[in-house]
Amino acid sequence: MMKSTLILTLSFLCTFPIMAQDFCSEVECQYLDNLYQVSDSLYRSEQPSRKGFGELDKLGIKTVLNFRRLWKDDRKARDTDMELVWMPLRAGELTEGELLAALTAIKNAEKPVLIHCWHGSDRTGAISAAYRIVFEDWSKAHAIEELRIEALGYHEDWYPNVIDLINDLDTQSFRTALDIKTSELAAGQ
């Protein structure tokens, strides 16, 4: 009886997905409070300070994609060799076209890439979720689950449109536009 129970338990555990491991992981950083590694080639954060950019440079970040509307990173990142890309977005008015433009910039950028907005929560969270779905073959539900992790700071009451945008995302048309082959997709959820 004990052996049967053990085998049944082990069988269940081997088929039960381990969810927490695949969510983005926090990166300890003295000058950034909201820095997470999404994948080997993508990080997300709040607006880096000048010292924060220094830490990102030491991490090996090659490209920074900034979604803030009124602030560029040129002055704060002037002591680094990072490629700076400015793509101003409004969290409450995000469109599929803007998601596609951001994913195109990520795909074409020298890696690893950091994406950020002011808090690293809403605009950054939307792009990160779209990245998970399109490049890593995550389900929309799983990407939204990560978006809603409290520590990442998504303001769902202010920007419920982000969830709608992710749910309505035409994954296959994005992959076609980005020329992503099925064989290139990371194993997703």
pLDDT, tens only, 67-117: 999 999 989 999 999 999 999 999 999 999 999 999 999 999 999 999 999
**Domain containing residue 132:** 26-177
Half-sphere exposure of 172 (CA within 13 A, CB side): 0
**19, part of any domain:** no
Coil, helix or strand at residue 171: helix
CA distance 104 to 152: 23
The closest of 102, 98, 125 to 113, measured between CA atoms, is 102
Residues 116, 180: Cα–Cα separation, whole Å: 24
Residue 182 lies in a domain: no
Question: What is the sign of the dihedral through the CA atoms of 131, 136, 139 and 142?
Answer: negative
**Own/partner pairs, 26-29, CB within 8 angstroms, 24+ separation:** 26/151, 27/59, 29/55
Asked if the structure places residue 4 within a domain, the reply is: no
Look at residue 105 and tell me if it is in a domain.
Answer: yes
**Pairing relationship of beta strands 42-45 and 63-66 according to DSSP bridges:** unpaired
Q: Cβ neighbours of residue 162 under 8 Å, at least 6 residues apart? A: 91, 94, 122, 125, 126, 129, 147, 154, 156
Number of domains observed in the structure of the chain: 1
Task: State the pTM of this model.
Answer: 0.85
The verdict on residue 37 lying in a domain is yes
Q: What percent of the chain has pLDDT over 90?
A: 70
The chain-wide mean pLDDT, for the chain, equals 87
Q: How far apart are CA 139 and CA 137, in angstroms?
A: 7
**Number of other residues whose CB lies within 10 A of the CB of residue 102:** 24
State which amino acid sits at residue 96: E
Supply the angle between the helices 140-147 and 123-136 in degrees, to the nearest 10. 150
Collapsing DSSP to helix, strand or coil, 164 comes out as: helix
Residue 17 lies in a domain: no
**What confidence score (pLDDT) does residue 185 get?**
80
Q: What six digits make up the tokens of 47?
A: 């607006």
Specify whether the CB–CB gap between 67 and 102 falls below 8 A: yes
Asked if the structure places residue 20 within a domain, the reply is: no
Identify the CATH number of the domain in which residue 82 sits: 3.90.190.10
If you average pLDDT over residues 161-186, what whole number do you get? 91
CA distance 136 to 110: 18
Q: Establish if 30 belongs to a structural domain.
A: yes
Higher-scoring residue by pLDDT: 95, 154: 95
